[in-house]
Structure 1
Amino acid sequence: MFMLGKKKWLIAGVAALTLTGVQAAGAADNALQAVTVPFKILSDGKEVKSDKNPVVIDGSTYVPLRALGEALGKQVEWNEWTQSIRLKEQPQVTGIHEWKNAPELTAGIKEGGFSGLLHMSGDPADTFYTLADRGPNGEFGKDKLRTFPDETYVPRIYKIKAANGTIEVLETIKLHLPEGKADAYTKTTAVTGLPNLEGPDEVPYDGTGTKKLGLDPDGLDLEGIAYSPSDDTFWLSDEYRPSLVQIKRDGTIIGRYVPQGMKEKLAAAGAQSEIYDILPAVYSNRISNRGFEGVTISPDGKYLYTSIQSPMAVPDKKTGEASRNLRILKIDLAAKKPVGEYMYIAENAANFVKVNQKDVVISDLSALNSDVLLVDERDKNAGDEAQIKRIYKADFSKATNLLGTETSEKSWEKLTVAQVKEQGIVPVTKELVVDVAKLGYPHEKLEGLAVVDPHTIAIVNDNDFGVDGYDDQGKLKVNQKPSQLYTIQVGEELK
């Protein structure tokens, strides 16, 4: 008897296990009866723990498949779409590295907030690029005003070395406009992490929650990082518009790619970046603080993929928050235009305990080839309550391209899984690579993902700069949550 979510599967016969207890069986009047039995399940002399007892049906003993698989060192996956179960070798954590001497930004708040991860081909196995988001921020008072304790914070990229249990920052690259341009907020080439536009964005306040700050039409809330080998540039994903940002190695912003209809609004607000409105207009309907999250570029440099963090407000926020249907956009980098949009179906929150569907999100992507990506899917829980901290291998080769269709523009988020099948839409296929929650990962935010080699991945957490809300006196609380990078060895070759 195997429980995965609310699905129950039975398996008969147990290899390398010993059953001890009283035999029981039942069959009467040609009707099979299942009898629960308190048998012990032993593997290598150790008792296998399970939340369900074995059962006996018609003289055969059935045992929990998840408990059995994990006792034998297997990772167990139930695939809802294909109605199949897959057992793999259990991945192993091979290293945990921590940023132990992060510099202070302001008022006891230290640098951190890792929101994406990149390992570049040709770099040493312990060298990565990561980036921080919009800087320290919190929610003040009953109205949950969005505060920015360090209002002059400049979004940045870090080149890091993760070795011997520590993270060493080799280089810090702060983002800026080209020479001759002046940001509307800073009056310099430096940009900030402040929101862009009145209306669709949150209103920014200072760290006390009492002073309203100005907007920055060039401000960025960075979440993902990718590298283009064809022109030696970085591409970053931004939650605000949402947008994709191309920068030089030194942090100079080359261009910002936004949904159609946004260029005029940003220009009217005083944006100084080069704006290109080549993305589908529907992406302007992202739920606040849920824009582009993951970004990756295929190893051949031809295609960029970017993922929306959670379903969008199409036709409204209520529909988006109840939906499982996430969007992943494919862009031809040479032509600088979208060429594909694919449906990724997130895990069903109803199959888990204390998980809301709106909190099942994509946090990062990492391309294995032009059609196959690793996808970081997670819930909002941490520690023992975490249930969805998973890395999936997603294959786009047979998925339906929905770019420019009526489904994309009007009905994407409201479709049920049954309706997706009825309409002949083929979503991206998913295959579990690592169930990170099973490896003792303690953090809520599994934010950055990179492939190191065919058998190794790396992940980082976003510690939110240690900002932990406000106390009853309205004082900002700062915790000591660390920024960490994990390396994980996977059983099957990544390809």
Structure 2
Amino acid sequence: MKRLLRRKRLLIVLAAVFAVSGTSAVSAGQATLEAVAAKFQITSGGKTVTLDKDPVVIDGSTYVPLRTISEALGKQVEWNEWNQTISLKDAPKVTGKFEWKNAPDLGKGIQEGGFSGLIHLPKDGADTFYALADRGPNGEVGKDKLRTFPIDSYNPRIYKFKISNGSIEILETIKLQLPDGKVDKVSQTKYITGLPNLVGSDEIPYDEKGVTKLSYDPDGLDLEGIAYSPSDDTFWLSEEYRPSVLQVKRDGTILGRYVPKGMKDKLVEAGAQTPIFDTLPELYNTRISNRGFEGVTISPDGKFLYTSIQSPMANPDKKTGETSRNLRILKMDLATKQVVGEYVYVAEQAGFFTNVKQKDIVISDLSALSGNELLVDERDKNAGADAQLKRIYKTDFSKATNLLGTDASNNLESLTVQQLKDKGIQPASKELIVDIAKLGYPYEKIEGLTVVDKNTIAIVNDNDFGISYDEKGNLTLTGVPTQLQLIQVSDDLSAK
């Protein structure tokens, strides 16, 4: 009897390739068949399954919505737009939640936080991680959304921490610093700040009230991603201002900042003390403000670094970037520190969701599985019940088209999905690993992603240091915590 029930459930899933409501005509060969809506009650595990659309009966067979019935049977459903395929796999589950409780005070009642990257080193215990904080407490105030820095002396930093008993315990705080003998223009110490770099190409920094303009720091960093190089025991960080990637010693000393061509002279002229190398493609100077490099990862063998732009760039203009679905991912050979690949990652289509704009679908982090396969964190800007797109995809670059130095790279943001196909441009493939929104994730920003073991990933949110502004322009505390979640997935994520 149990075997028969399983077969019936499987047949329902396999048959449910579409669903309509009302009555319509369906062509099947030479016959015209009528689809009639039906009010059937469907149960799973003794509970009634709520359908988003009524079942329909066509020629004596009943059809139900595939996604709803699959999820009721404990499956995760993925629609692959590029390949026009549907896949089902066992649904992931959250196995642990850990919060940074009683984080140290930075002043004005603001606590440390703002985790914007995450990595687990293979030699560390499964409970130990590294994360980094971004440029420090900041916000937007007033109708002009002026960028404020309530703690303008904040030093960007890396954290080493462990998780246990529902809590995050900080083991070490590593502040980013200049090489010996160098002094930051703003802090007047070896420690850098999180303030913007250059007049005209970065947001204007203001004090807490949005009244007084603050100084620019040509060495300032808005850190967003962290990776580890096993070949020389260094960290690599991605940041948004230029955008750039940086090599950093374990003690936080910056060894080099890699920027787009044409940017080095401007930073040096402004007084930068960081060793700067302008080896990245010049086109990356067209990044939209506050939408630079977000994710960074290094292949397990230490040979290649990948870094992702958060949003499509303003190429040829901001409007094009904000409506494009084409995000760029760069590949660097760490032996030569030269870029050897540029690939397109096609973001999900905003029109498939409710109250989601294309410009707000972004990449937030990367985690390498091999030299060609990465996990990618793709998300929208919504939180709680409004969140629809919080997904981790596995991407494969082995068959993706290398666009570096090609004509297609020059106008990539302007191309539609169909135009990519017409030009023979193959994006990085996408396979859904976990739909985190389906797990009830309450926060807007999944900003850190790393693999813990072959069936476990860890994610961490950016709580924006728990601050915001009310309608009157007053600084407020949101109470949003810094939280790490462990998620068990059915896929084998072993390094290859």
TM-score, structure 1 normalization: 0.94
Kept after mapping to 2: 8 A contact 1:326/1:345: yes
Pair 471,57 (structure 1): closer, same or farther in 2 beyond 3 Å: same
Match of residue 4 from structure 1:
none
- TM alignment of 1:360-379, pairs within 5 A: 360-379=361-380
1:494 CA drift (Å): 1.4
Structure 2 residue runs of 5 or longer lacking an equivalent are 1-8, 16-22
- TM alignment of 1:56-135, pairs within 5 A: 56-135=57-136
1:39 CA drift (Å): 0.6
User: In the alignment, does 2:273 pair up with 1:272?
Assistant: yes
Kept after mapping to 1: 8 A contact 2:13/2:70: no
Distance in structure 2 (CA, Å) of the matches to 1:30 and 1:120: 61
Distance in structure 1 (CA, Å) of the matches to 2:26 and 2:321: 49
Match of residue 494 from structure 1:
493
1:14 CA drift (Å): 2.1
Kept after mapping to 2: 8 A contact 1:25/1:57: no
Match of residue 214 from structure 2:
213
User: In the alignment, does 2:471 pair up with 1:462?
Assistant: no
User: In the alignment, does 2:439 pair up with 1:432?
Assistant: no
Kept after mapping to 2: 8 A contact 1:326/1:344: yes
Cα deviation 1:75-111 (Å, max 9, x = unaligned) = 0000000100000000010000000110111111110
Distance in structure 2 (CA, Å) of the matches to 1:279 and 1:306: 11
Cα deviation 1:225-256 (Å, max 9, x = unaligned) = 00011111000001000000111000001110
Match of residue 194 from structure 1:
195
| Structure 1, 38-47 or 424-433: larger mean CA deviation | 38-47
Cα deviation 1:451-480 (Å, max 9, x = unaligned) = 0000000000000001112441x3211110
Q: Secondary structure at the match of 2:481?
A: coil
Report percent identity of matched pairs. Answer: 67
Kept after mapping to 2: 8 A contact 1:25/1:56: no
Kept after mapping to 1: 8 A contact 2:329/2:345: yes
Cα deviation 1:403-445 (Å, max 9, x = unaligned) = 0111112x10010000000000000000000000001110000
Distance in structure 2 (CA, Å) of the matches to 1:146 and 1:322: 24
Kept after mapping to 2: 8 A contact 1:471/1:477: no
| Structure 1, 26-35 or 194-203: larger mean CA deviation | 26-35
Q: Secondary structure at the match of 1:40?
A: coil
Q: Secondary structure at the match of 1:307?
A: strand
Kept after mapping to 2: 8 A contact 1:458/1:487: yes
Distance in structure 2 (CA, Å) of the matches to 1:209 and 1:334: 45
Selected match of 2:12 from 7, 11, 14: 14
Cα deviation 1:6-28 (Å, max 9, x = unaligned) = xxxxx9942799xxxxxx99999
Kept after mapping to 1: 8 A contact 2:467/2:477: yes
- TM alignment of 1:45-444, pairs within 5 A: 45-409=46-410, 411-444=411-444
Match of residue 7 from structure 1:
none
Distance in structure 2 (CA, Å) of the matches to 1:419 and 1:102: 49
Cα deviation 1:284-304 (Å, max 9, x = unaligned) = 100000000000000000000
Pair 25,326 (structure 1): closer, same or farther in 2 beyond 3 Å: closer
Q: Secondary structure at the match of 2:319?
A: helix
| Structure 1, 342-351 or 177-186: larger mean CA deviation | 177-186
TM-score, structure 2 normalization: 0.94
1:48 CA drift (Å): 1.0
Q: Secondary structure at the match of 2:12?
A: coil
Paired letter, 1:312: M
Pair 45,213 (structure 1): closer, same or farther in 2 beyond 3 Å: same
1:162 CA drift (Å): 1.4
User: In the alignment, does 2:458 pair up with 1:448?
Assistant: no
1:305 CA drift (Å): 0.1
1:46 CA drift (Å): 1.5
Distance in structure 2 (CA, Å) of the matches to 1:374 and 1:44: 33
Q: Secondary structure at the match of 1:300?
A: coil
Paired letter, 1:185: V
Deviant stretches of 4+, over 4 Å: 24-29
Q: Secondary structure at the match of 1:283?
A: helix
Pair 164,335 (structure 1): closer, same or farther in 2 beyond 3 Å: same
Kept after mapping to 2: 8 A contact 1:12/1:63: no
Cα deviation 1:316-347 (Å, max 9, x = unaligned) = 00000000000000000001000000000000
Kept after mapping to 2: 8 A contact 1:197/1:215: yes
Q: Secondary structure at the match of 2:267?
A: helix
Distance in structure 2 (CA, Å) of the matches to 1:27 and 1:325: 36
Distance in structure 1 (CA, Å) of the matches to 2:13 and 2:224: 46
Paired letter, 2:448: G
Distance in structure 2 (CA, Å) of the matches to 1:383 and 1:27: 39
Cα deviation 1:173-194 (Å, max 9, x = unaligned) = 0001012101111111110000
Paired letter, 1:263: K
Pair 208,153 (structure 1): closer, same or farther in 2 beyond 3 Å: same
Kept after mapping to 2: 8 A contact 1:27/1:58: no
1:45 CA drift (Å): 2.1
User: In the alignment, does 2:471 pair up with 1:483?
Assistant: no
Q: Secondary structure at the match of 1:33?
A: strand
1:145 CA drift (Å): 0.9
Cα deviation 1:150-183 (Å, max 9, x = unaligned) = 0000000000111210000000000010121011
Paired letter, 1:446: I
Distance in structure 2 (CA, Å) of the matches to 1:449 and 1:26: 47
Distance in structure 1 (CA, Å) of the matches to 2:14 and 2:253: 60
Distance in structure 2 (CA, Å) of the matches to 1:199 and 1:302: 36
Structure 1 residue runs of 5 or longer lacking an equivalent are 1-10, 18-23
Distance in structure 1 (CA, Å) of the matches to 2:205 and 2:44: 57
Cα deviation 1:377-414 (Å, max 9, x = unaligned) = 000000011000000000000000000111112x1001
Q: Secondary structure at the match of 2:297?
A: strand
Distance in structure 2 (CA, Å) of the matches to 1:243 and 1:25: 55
Match of residue 8 from structure 1:
none
Distance in structure 2 (CA, Å) of the matches to 1:306 and 1:368: 14
Kept after mapping to 1: 8 A contact 2:468/2:477: yes
Q: Secondary structure at the match of 2:42?
A: strand
Distance in structure 2 (CA, Å) of the matches to 1:337 and 1:63: 52
Distance in structure 2 (CA, Å) of the matches to 1:484 and 1:413: 34
